[in-house]
Homo-oligomer: A and B are copies of this chain.
């Protein structure tokens, strides 16, 4: 565990413990430096991490403040590459199919840059409180994800990749649009043909810069809403 992550965790805990709310002030940087016995740069890194996650913001000449989202109940983060966490409760997963392909269909193939295009095609329906909210169609290169079983697919693929395979997801590209559902997809999502849906096309990159996963997510418009907290801080 890196020092700045530890410091970030401690600050997060302190916010929770002291029940600090949006706009409440944190100790000044110098105090954090003394309290945690680290250098200013390390505290700044920790604060950068927290700022990126939407937990705090800094005002030059004034202080560090808690930035708490008004109310995220039921909203899910579109943007962190960490799967679904926290705000969406009672998630269950129905594995529809796991196929092994010599190469993915064109819509996914065009993004991969490896020669060896053998891949898994995984289709899942994910539910929250028994209501379907997203239909997933994912293509994983076997080169990076050599094995997927139904049991694995039942859980978090992110967790499996990072912990089970010890591969790191470093960044992602997302393409999003809205369209009308066709009957087949609509049925799976318990909607009707012509109903609206948000489509998210995700490209996930390994630590080496190669795409290992191309996914297409179709969200049920009635059971999914999203949030994002952005900040212009770098450090």
Residues in chain A within 8 A of chain B (CB atoms): 4, 23, 41, 45, 48-49, 52, 54, 57, 59, 62, 65, 67, 69-70, 75, 78-81, 110-111, 113, 169-180, 194-198, 203, 205, 207-209, 219, 221, 224-235
Contact = CB atoms under 8 A, between A and B. Distances in A.
A235 B235 contact: yes
13 contacts: A78-B228, A81-B230, A174-B227, A174-B229, A175-B227, A176-B225, A176-B226, A178-B197, A178-B198, A178-B221, A178-B224, A179-B221, A180-B196
A135 B174 CA distance: 23
Given A59-B209, A196-B196, A235-B48, A230 B79 contact: yes
A67 B174 contact: no
A111 to B, nearest CB: 6
Contact of A178 (B171, B178, B227, B229): B178
Given A54-B171, A171-B232, A195-B196, 16 more contacts: A48-B234, A52-B234, A62-B208, A78-B228, A81-B230, A171-B233, A172-B229, A173-B229, A176-B228, A177-B221, A177-B225, A178-B197, A178-B219, A178-B224, A196-B196, A234-B235
A5 to B, nearest CB: 10
A221 to B, nearest CB: 4
A78 B196 CA distance: 19
Contacts of A234: 4, 45, 48-49, 52, 235
Nearest to A205: B57
A70 B227 contact: no
Nearest to A178: B221
Nearest to A81: B230
Contact of A79 (B52, B79, B194, B207): B79
Q: Which of A48, A69, A113, A207 has the most CB of B within 10 A?
A: A207
Contacts of A41: 41
Contact of A174 (B205, B228, B233): B228
Contacts of A179: 196, 221
